[in-house]
Structure 1
Amino acid sequence: MTNDLEVIENYIQRCTNWGRWGPNDQLGTVNLITPEKIREAATLVKLGKTISLTMPYDEHGPQTGYLGRANPHLYQLTSGPGYLVGEQERVETQTLADWRSSTGQPTAGYYDDVLVMPTQSGTQWDALCHFFWRGHMYNGHPAADAGTAGSRSNGVQNYTGKIITRGVFVDLADHRGVDSLKPGYAITTDDLDEYLAAKNLDIRPGDALIIRTGFMSARRGNWGDYAGGASPGLSLHTAPWLRDKDIAAIATDTWGIEVLPNEIDVWQPLHVVSLAHTGLAFGEMFDLDALSADSKADEIYEFMFSASPLPLTGASGSPVSALAIK
């Protein structure tokens, strides 16, 4: 453990962005998405095509209760059958009520519901308040700021309306000719560099790096321990590469971005270094299968990426309706 702590502390020192954008910053690397970067991304829209990168939010998702997370559930406040038997008479005016009583047919009605879900139960962004190390979250904000009524610092609402940039798609599963990388496979910088060279792609400051392992596709419908179990993912040792490239956001089709089991005896060490210290936006459980098929067909691996979270004040994460726009 002592050597592992030295490893993590060395990476923290090497990769930190604390103070880079001032002592009160709550955006981290999303600061790199400038107006110029958004204009650059807009030039990539040639076909007028949109591809959703979001999995369905329903009770058939991958959550098992691990870390207290359940799948989304939709509850109805009203229903069509209830409307048909008169449960909504209170919304009618007297004129409509008279018409209904004379004809036996219902008039105006409505359908309403409630969605109950953890903010990190499906395709989502981690907020910068999501992860702590030695009593602090990103940029030195105290962990105590993340209270029971929401976090006073680094809430996910800071990202809202700001994650619109050039997306670079790294489809490692397709490139390797496999359905999925194996659980426990640690993606290295060599893997990333080799793929980018093969596709004649570069990484520029402010980009979103979107990585497909194939793991969601392999587990879809029979999830097993997808949420929290052994998984392919980024190696801890990619942290300096991510920092040096000035990537604004990273998103993958896995539960937690980084390889599981973890490579050292520190829980989620890439979260510690890259989320809590670099301030890198982490996107998890992005559904990249449709993008994979489309990119294989048109050979376009860069596009405008739009993925704004909901403005959930003080939340540790948020659902997102993410799009690749070509």
Structure 2
Amino acid sequence: MPKPSGRGAADSSYAAGTGIAGRGVLLDVGRYKGSDGPDDSWLPLDANPLEEAEPDAAITLDDLKATADAQGVRLREHDILLIRTGAIERTQDPNAEWDPFGEPGLTYSDDLIEWVHEMDIPYIGADNLAVEQIFQTVTEDDLGEGRKSLHGNYALPLHGAFLRDLGVSLNEVLDLSELAAQCAEDGIYEFLFTAAPLNFEMGTGGPVNPVVLKATDGAGEEGGSEGRRGRGR
């Protein structure tokens, strides 16, 4: 029988075997700086990410911090971050324009990588296809001293930095719409987040069905919210 191929270290079975649980925080960047969709709650598409980039489609470290400040939530070490862009709602709207290569998302900078490392963020989820923008232009301003020559066009640069270098799990294609609506209504953006990926030895990823347990101060509201299935890495 042929030997299976896959990741020799830090494969998805480690997360599946132990499970994932911790303080989750929703960062609703779509509502914070959106300019598209209902009530301007979606980030716009980026039609030419490697040419005439749409700055509002790129989520920077400053955007994450500013969104947290606007929501009145303090980010802490070891937080599980869920980032809403409005991408899922866009795909569910038959009248909305959609381009998988132009979806908004996180964008690379050395400062972002260092911040995730210093905060020891273990898990980042988002409602788009890749958590980050698929195609990105990394400028000299995005890079630290001694690394300016690395500027240029990249595909999924954060995947290598997060998955390979820092061991951060990525959870893609999350439907955060119901959770985001409840958070916006009651102003509570922190919750218990749990997940257990399907157990694949040597796997690079697998299906995951996360569950969120969130307090609410709304009369008659449910105290829990279940996240719909997404793809985790």
**Length-normalised TM-score, structure 1:** 0.51
Q: Which has the higher strand share?
A: 2
> Aligned ranges for residues 43-62 of structure 1 at < 5 Å?
none
* CA distance in structure 2 between the aligned counterparts of 1:229 and 1:304, rounded to whole angstroms: 32
Match of 1:158 in 2: 14
2:68 equivalent among 181, 192, 196: 196
Match of 1:319 in 2: 207
Post-superposition CA distance 1:236-279 (Å, at most 9, x none) = 01222222221111000010111232124232111121221111
Post-superposition CA distance 1:197-221 (Å, at most 9, x none) = 1222122221101100001111126
Match of 1:274 in 2: 162
> Aligned ranges for residues 256-295 of structure 1 at < 5 Å?
256-263=130-137, 264-295=152-183
Instruction: Report deviation, 1:148.
Output: 4.4
**Length-normalised TM-score, structure 2:** 0.70
Post-superposition CA distance 1:120-165 (Å, at most 9, x none) = xxxxxxxxxxxxxxxxxxxxxxxxxxx7444332221100133100
SS at match of 1:198: helix
Count the aligned residue pairs. Answer: 179
Instruction: Report deviation, 1:225.
Output: 6.0
Q: Which runs of 5+ in 2 are unaligned?
A: 34-38, 47-56, 138-151, 215-233
* CA distance in structure 2 between the aligned counterparts of 1:224 and 1:186, rounded to whole angstroms: 18
Q: Does 1:297 align with 2:179?
A: no
SS at match of 2:40: coil
Instruction: Report deviation, 1:300.
Output: 1.1
Q: Which runs of 5+ in 1 are unaligned?
A: 1-146
* CA distance in structure 1 between the aligned counterparts of 2:97 and 2:8, rounded to whole angstroms: 36
Please say if residues 231 and 261 of structure 1, whose CA atoms lie closer than 8 Å, have aligned partners that are also in contact: no
* CA distance in structure 2 between the aligned counterparts of 1:191 and 1:234, rounded to whole angstroms: 9
Match of 2:30 in 1: 173
SS at match of 1:262: strand
Q: Percent identity?
A: 30
Counterparts in 2 of 1:158 and 1:175: CA distance versus 1, 3 Å: same
Match of 1:219 in 2: 91
Please say if residues 204 and 246 of structure 1, whose CA atoms lie closer than 8 Å, have aligned partners that are also in contact: no
1:182 equivalent among 10, 34, 44: 44
Match of 1:253 in 2: 127
* CA distance in structure 1 between the aligned counterparts of 2:103 and 2:22, rounded to whole angstroms: 28
- The one-letter code of the counterpart of 1:179 is S
Post-superposition CA distance 1:94-121 (Å, at most 9, x none) = xxxxxxxxxxxxxxxxxxxxxxxxxxxx
User: Which one scores higher on RCO, CA 8 angstroms, separation ≥ 6?
Assistant: 1
> Aligned ranges for residues 32-47 of structure 1 at < 5 Å?
none
Match of 1:57 in 2: none
Please say if residues 10 and 167 of structure 2, whose CA atoms lie closer than 8 Å, have aligned partners that are also in contact: no
Counterparts in 2 of 1:275 and 1:318: CA distance versus 1, 3 Å: same
Please say if residues 247 and 280 of structure 1, whose CA atoms lie closer than 8 Å, have aligned partners that are also in contact: yes
